[in-house]
Structure formats: structure tokens, C-alpha cells
Chain A
Amino acid sequence: MALDQSFVGRSYPPTEPYEVGREKIREFAEAVGDTNPAYTDAEAAKALGHPDVIAPPTFVFAITFKAAGQVIQDPQLGLDYSRVVHGDQKFAYRRPVRAGDRLTVTSTIESIKSMAGNEVLDIRGEVHDEAGEHVVTAWTKLVARAAEEA
């Protein structure tokens, strides 16, 4: 069944702050095999002009996707998550995420489209730090595939 268009433009309350830890950044960098010292060595990060170690560019998805759960699990929206695949992902960075950041995410439904029986949902996550400064925006496109005919 088509998703309710009246949800387009709806924003959800900001999430509780996520505190970015040095060891979590290290774990992520190791998981993707990335040995750039800016992720693990504060001095190397400072030499590049950062106040502390920074996170790899896609690290923030773990935070924004969890926040998007507010939308995905909204019972009023009624998305069938078992049929959802990740279609597109985009980030626009004001600055890199870094250790010690306390980040909140505000998720907004940007669009809902029906295409060939699939439901296509665009969610924008605005990430701010503790001072209220914008850090990164994440756009996530989710595609709920059409259910097969019974």
C-alpha cells in the first residue's frame, strides 16, 4: 500500500547526544582497513589542522541511520522494513566528525514516491554538535520493494 504523502516534510525530535569516542573511531577505521593516522593519532590529526582525531567520512552513518529508525519504525508511517533496501547515500560535511563530539540528529522525511510498486523514501538527517553548530547532513534513500502477489 502506498505510504501516506502527508508525512512529507515531517521532522522528528532531535536524538539524544551520541558521544564520539576515540576507540570507536579506531574500531571503525580498523574494520575498513584504513590506516590513515588522522583516525588514531591525535598529533597526526593536529598536524592536519584538526583539534583531535577525526572519523572516516562514512562513520557518521551509524549515528544518522540509528536516528532514521524514528522514521522507519514510526507505526503511523507503516513502512515494511523487511522489504527495505538502501538505495542511495550522500553526505555534505561542514567539518569532519571528531573524538569528543556530542552529536544530535534531526531527521526529516524529504520525499515519498511510488515507483513501479516500490515505495521510495528520502530521509535527511541534520547532525549538530553540542554547541548547536552544523557538522554534516546525511541523505538516505530507502526503497521498500513491492510485495509479491500472494
Chain B
Amino acid sequence: MTAKISYADVEVGTELPAQSFPVTRATLVRYAGASGDFNPIHWNEKFAKEVGLPDVIAHGMFTMAEAIRVVTDWTGDPGAVVEYGVRFTKPVVVPNDDRGAVIEVSGKVAAKLDDNTVRVDLTATNDGRKVLGMARAVVRLA
């Protein structure tokens, strides 16, 4: 496991490069196939509205998969992730147009822990609203 970032080079407050992740209906269809989660709230507008949602929403696990990329792109080695957890607080609504939705993710080092690990706190928003709560990863640095 070879993270490209050195433990000695980060401090509490160090910011990771923020990223934007687009998501369209096509993205959700691909994710459904890859993950095996075919819940119709993620692709069928009529069904989504019938169960009280404003429109089709992204899989929470899709948002979780995108958010950790801020960490794995930073460390280089995705295998350096020791722990990762999130709370799904708001759905990402994905309209049926060319633009879809955008998930904005930023992260910063919140604590330096033992054994060359750090805790990174992530913020994920869509249209300015937080879509994940308590989004935290522990990652082992070089």
C-alpha cells in the first residue's frame, strides 16, 4: 500500500483538491447495472413520483462512491483507505435533461491519528445543499 502523500506533509486543516462529479440518467443506468441495484426510484420517473420523490434520484451509494474519489485521487492508492462512512441526508435529484445534476465534493484533514493514518472529513453538496452527513474516511499515508 503506497499512498503518494506523506503523513509528515499534512496537518490538521490541510485541504484536499475539490472535485465536481456530473450525474445524468445515463450515469444512473450504468451504475444500476454495475452495482446490481435496480430500484426503480433511480431510473423510473413515474415510480419515483408515486413514492413521493420529486423525481428520479441518484443511488446514495453512487454519491458515496464519488465522494471517496477526492481521497483516493489524493492518495493515489485506493487501497490506503482504512475506514469510510457516510450518512445519507438528502437525495441528489437527477432531472431528465442533458445536464443532469452535479455533486461537489471537498475534503480536509480533520485529525492526525496513529500509525500514519489521518481522518479526512468530506463535504458533498448538490445545488448548494449537503447530501451526505458525517462523511469521514480514515486513510493511511506514506
A residues neighboring B (CB under 8 Å)? 24, 27-28, 30-34, 36, 38-39, 47-50, 54, 56-58, 61-62, 65-66, 85-93, 95-96, 139
Contact = CB atoms under 8 A, between A and B. Distances in A.
Interface secondary structure of A, over-half rule: mixed
Contacts of A95: 79
B12 interface: no
Interface string B68-86: 1100110011110111111
A89 B64 CA distance: 9
Chain B interface category by residue count = 20 to 34
Q: Which of B72, B79, B82, B87 has the most CB of A within 10 A?
A: B79
B33, B34, B85, B86 pick with most chain A CB within 10 angstroms: B34
A95 B81 CA distance: 9
B77 A28 contact: no
B85 A139 contact: yes
Given A47-B2, A89-B88, 15 more contacts: A27-B34, A32-B31, A32-B69, A33-B27, A34-B69, A38-B77, A49-B77, A56-B65, A56-B78, A57-B84, A58-B65, A62-B37, A65-B37, A86-B88, A92-B82
B62 interface: yes
Given A32-B66, A139-B85, A38 B79 contact: yes
A90 B85 contact: yes
A61 B81 contact: no
Given A28-B35, A31-B30, A34-B69, A86 B61 contact: yes
Given A92-B83, A139-B85, A31 B60 contact: no
B78 A90 contact: no
Nearest to B21: A33
Contacts of B34: 24, 27-28, 30-32
